[in-house]
Every structure is written in structure tokens, then in C-alpha cells.
């Protein structure tokens, strides 16, 4: 059940990344449901707004790797993290390349960098989160 929910979250996050990347208006003015402060912030920080969904994406990918029964030795953890970062790089690159086919949109190589950095931050946040949880459990057991 947890795996299916996590997979649904990953899928939703990926769809959201492509949706917002491929909107015809890069200023998101057509998205009337978004709060005004968020629209203003995102229009001031074009590249940074690319990193935000990838933080969640990287976190969810690491979570997926953690519950999918993969081994927990250091080498495998590093390889898994590198795979997740490469997967995020592929997704952000596809999202940017898709903008070639959308009127008024232009790909930005800095968005690719920010997407990858966001994913790395998400992976690191998950690792820190698990370290805190594990240390709290061992602290409470003593």
C-alpha cells in the first residue's frame, strides 16, 4: 500500500513538473488558482522555481529506494542516489527540451542545473531526515 501511494506521489510530482514547464505563459498568469504572492515570487526567481519541485522529487525518489527493499550498504546507497540524480536530470532535460515545441517558451540550461541541484537537495534532506529518525529511535531505546 505504501509503495503504491509513494509511486502515485512520484507520478503526480513528475506530471506537475511537465505541466508547469510546458505552460505557454512562462509567467504562470493563466494559473489563476495560484496565490498572488507565489506568482510574484516565481516571476522574480525563474530558475529557483525550477528547483522547488525537484526537491520534492529527489526526496520521494530516495524514499522509494528506502522502502523498495534495496540493500543498505554505503556503496549501494551512493549508487542509488546517483541513479536518482541522473533520473532527475533526464526529467528536467526533457521538460526543458519540450519547450522548443511551445510558442513563447524557450529552454534555459540554468533550469537544468537548478533542477538537478533541487533533486540533490531533496536526496540530502531525505538522508538527514532518516538519520534524525534513526538517532531518535536509538536514543529512546536506551
The mean pLDDT values, 10 residues at a time, for the chain of 142 residues are 89 95 87 90 90 95 77 78 92 94 87 96 92 78 62
> Residue 142's pLDDT is what?
58
Measure the CA–CA gap between 41 and 38, rounded to whole angstroms. 5
Specify the residue for cell string 525563474: 46
| Residue 32 belongs to a domain | yes
Helices of type H across the chain: 2-21, 36-44, 46-67, 74-98, 109-141
> Are the beta carbons of 111 and 50 closer than 8 angstroms?
yes
> Are the beta carbons of 116 and 47 closer than 8 angstroms?
no
Q: pTM for this one? A: 0.86
> Residue 57's pLDDT is what?
96
| Residue 142 belongs to a domain | no
Measure the CA–CA gap between 66 and 112, rounded to whole angstroms. 26
- Per the structure, how many domains does the chain have? 1
| Residue 67 belongs to a domain | yes
Host domain of residue 76 = 2-137
Amino acid at each position: 500500500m505504501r509503495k503504491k501511494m509513494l509511486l502515485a506521489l512520484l507520478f503526480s510530482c513528475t506530471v506537475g513538473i511537465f505541466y508547469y514547464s510546458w505552460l505557454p505563459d512562462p509567467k504562470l498568469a493563466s494559473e489563476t488558482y495560484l496565490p498572488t504572492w507565489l506568482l510574484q515570487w516565481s516571476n522574480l526567481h525563474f530558475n529557483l522555481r525550477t528547483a522547488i519541485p525537484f526537491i520534492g522529487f529527489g526526496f520521494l525518489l530516495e524514499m522509494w529506494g528506502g522502502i523498495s527493499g534495496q540493500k543498505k550498504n554505503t556503496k549501494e546507497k551512493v549508487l542509488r542516489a546517483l541513479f536518482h540524480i541522473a533520473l532527475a536530470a533526464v526529467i528536467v532535460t526533457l521538460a526543458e527540451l519540450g519547450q522548443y515545441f511551445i510558442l513563447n517558451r524557450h529552454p534555459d540550461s540554468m533550469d537544468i542545473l537548478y533542477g538537478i541541484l533541487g533533486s540533490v537537495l531533496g536526496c540530502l534532506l531525505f538522508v538527514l531526515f532518516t538519520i534524525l529518525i534513526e538517532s531518535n529511535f536509538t536514543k529512546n531505546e536506551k
